[in-house]
Structure 1
């Protein structure tokens, strides 16, 4: 009968686990002691052990750096792809813009179009926003010394912003299109409808007095009409949109949230025509209406028959007024 071997591993494992539990419990209690001496000992242990454990954290640090580098590389790759797509789109837009520019130059040359040299601009910086709950306006650092006049239009580089409503020596006040007292005659393209853009202290001024509202669609282009001679025609205002109140409004092309620089257009009024009679001659004076029918001339035969009839009736014809009277001897 074979002898049964003794198992020494199980008791040793139990003793080691018990010692480990006691050590951890002692460390926990030591770390929880609120004493100045214990605090100094804890600081000394940390200073001694923590620097020597950097080799343990080295793989973790390297792995985290590799993960961060891979994520950064992935973001760079995505941005590169997006930039490539945008570059392709911009190349297409550039080609289309060059073709349109060439076509525009050819059309201008064929039609002998002369652009208005008086429509120049002066740029200024928006110095302050003086808008209130009842007034929408800004101040620009251009004034009378720069030749600014009341009523001139202002743009932010893309769309119409407003008009000059007050001029000082060095500053001018610009009333925005969103101001409740702002009224601007506009043209809605491509239908050609005329309307009045009215501000109501909101970011979307509404269109009023439209000739045919059913011909206006959301997304139509809205430009200044030039009626009244205040603004030059053709200045971009924005796009037509339909608001929740079922009214046609305009999403302004100008970025009102970032008004930093403004262009003041030096517009001049149209030259009056002094001699209008040379263009449209007045009608000749006289009878107004259809011409009268021609009057028939009396026939000599009819005159002789009439004289014979008078003589037979015992009447004498009237003496001729052109006949000279006979003198009596």
Structure 2
């Protein structure tokens, strides 16, 4: 076997490392000396060697500028997106303000109208959510003992939630607007067009049988129309939205994710008049214009007989 020669690399490495440490230590100590002569020497070293390393620092400087520019672009993009979101919110608030102004003007013009005193409410607590793939409903802790009747409308703090579809002694079932069997007539404001809101097991139910879809705009208010006596008119349902397939849907105003308390609206059908004889009939129509001329009958047969003549004359 060949014998290995002496290893000179390890001692040389140790010597070079020791010299590098001593050099760095000397530079550190030299840089810490507080002396005018040492300061002049440090300035001369900086002026001599630092400018020659600009070509080394150029890529680093350019890369740092690129990173700063990218960060600035990212901040501008985020600010732009935030401004877009704020603009959309402001547009929605503007539309809401315009609609409230219109509604306020109507109410001011009708300030002598008497509100229906029968439209009161009973508040109840949601016991459980019994929704499924084929049924969307919740249970309330109010029932027949509280005067609840089948078909009454239920609302949360803002919008319409559904209607009573089953009444027990102490509980009642509320069928939500998202239930596939739910169909309610609605009015779209400010156009006043009528449509039918149909539940389809989604959070945004669809509109059917729309009168004039071209007159509608996303964001229009949707309220109950009161047609058919299903719900009282004017109850807020939500806002109009357009799906990706172009179909018009309603973004419900009620917070379906947190249904804790519901208000059951007491709504009684309007009184029907059965005895029409008690109604005051309208006066008979009279002829309007100059009086008709008097007609003279010239038929001899229609004339009265003449009186007999007296013979003494």
After TM superposition, the score normalised by the length of structure 2 is: 0.58
Deviation by residue 1:225-273 (Cα, 9 ceiling, x = unmatched): 1112221111110000111221111000111121121111111222234
**2:221 — aligned with what?**
221
**1:323 — aligned with what?**
305
Secondary structure of the structure 1 residue equivalent to 2:257: helix
**2:161 — aligned with what?**
161
Counting only pairs closer than 5 Å after superposition, residues 146-157 of structure 1 correspond to structure 2 as: 146-157=146-157
Q: Aligned partners of 1:153 and 1:324: how far apart in 2?
A: 87
Matched, 1:207 2:207: yes
**1:139 — aligned with what?**
139
C-alpha change, 1:122 and 1:249, in structure 2 (3 Å) is same
**1:172 — aligned with what?**
172
**1:265 — aligned with what?**
265
After TM superposition, the score normalised by the length of structure 1 is: 0.55
Q: Aligned partners of 2:274 and 2:136: how far apart in 1?
A: 40
**1:244 — aligned with what?**
244
Return the offset for 1:223: 0.5
CA contact (8 A) 1:142 1:171 kept: yes
Deviation by residue 1:58-88 (Cα, 9 ceiling, x = unmatched): xxxxxxxxxxxxxxxxxxxxxxxxxxxxxxx
Deviation by residue 1:296-322 (Cα, 9 ceiling, x = unmatched): 7358xxx6xxxxxxxxxxxxx954553
C-alpha change, 1:249 and 1:278, in structure 2 (3 Å) is farther
Secondary structure of the structure 2 residue equivalent to 1:228: helix
Q: Aligned partners of 1:154 and 1:113: how far apart in 2?
A: 25
Q: Aligned partners of 1:229 and 1:140: how far apart in 2?
A: 23
Secondary structure of the structure 2 residue equivalent to 1:111: coil
Q: Aligned partners of 1:199 and 1:172: how far apart in 2?
A: 20
Secondary structure of the structure 2 residue equivalent to 1:170: coil
**1:121 — aligned with what?**
121
**2:295 — aligned with what?**
297
Q: Runs of 5+ in structure 1 lacking a partner?
A: 1-9, 18-92, 286-290, 304-316
Q: Aligned partners of 2:213 and 2:277: how far apart in 1?
A: 39
Return the offset for 1:177: 0.5
Counting only pairs closer than 5 Å after superposition, residues 1-329 of structure 1 correspond to structure 2 as: 111-274=111-274, 281=281, 297-298=295-296, 319-320=301-302, 322-323=304-305
C-alpha change, 1:319 and 1:138, in structure 2 (3 Å) is closer
**2:3 — aligned with what?**
none
CA contact (8 A) 1:153 1:160 kept: yes
Moved more, 192-201 or 145-154: 192-201
Which has the greater radius of gyration?
1
Q: Aligned partners of 2:120 and 2:263: how far apart in 1?
A: 9
C-alpha change, 1:171 and 1:295, in structure 2 (3 Å) is same
Secondary structure of the structure 1 residue equivalent to 2:197: strand
Secondary structure of the structure 2 residue equivalent to 1:214: helix
Return the offset for 1:114: 2.6
Deviation by residue 1:95-117 (Cα, 9 ceiling, x = unmatched): xx9xx99x96xx66983333222
C-alpha change, 1:180 and 1:296, in structure 2 (3 Å) is same
Q: Runs of 5+ in structure 2 lacking a partner?
A: 1-10, 19-92
When the two structures are aligned, how many residues end up with a matched partner?
216
Q: Aligned partners of 2:301 and 2:207: how far apart in 1?
A: 82
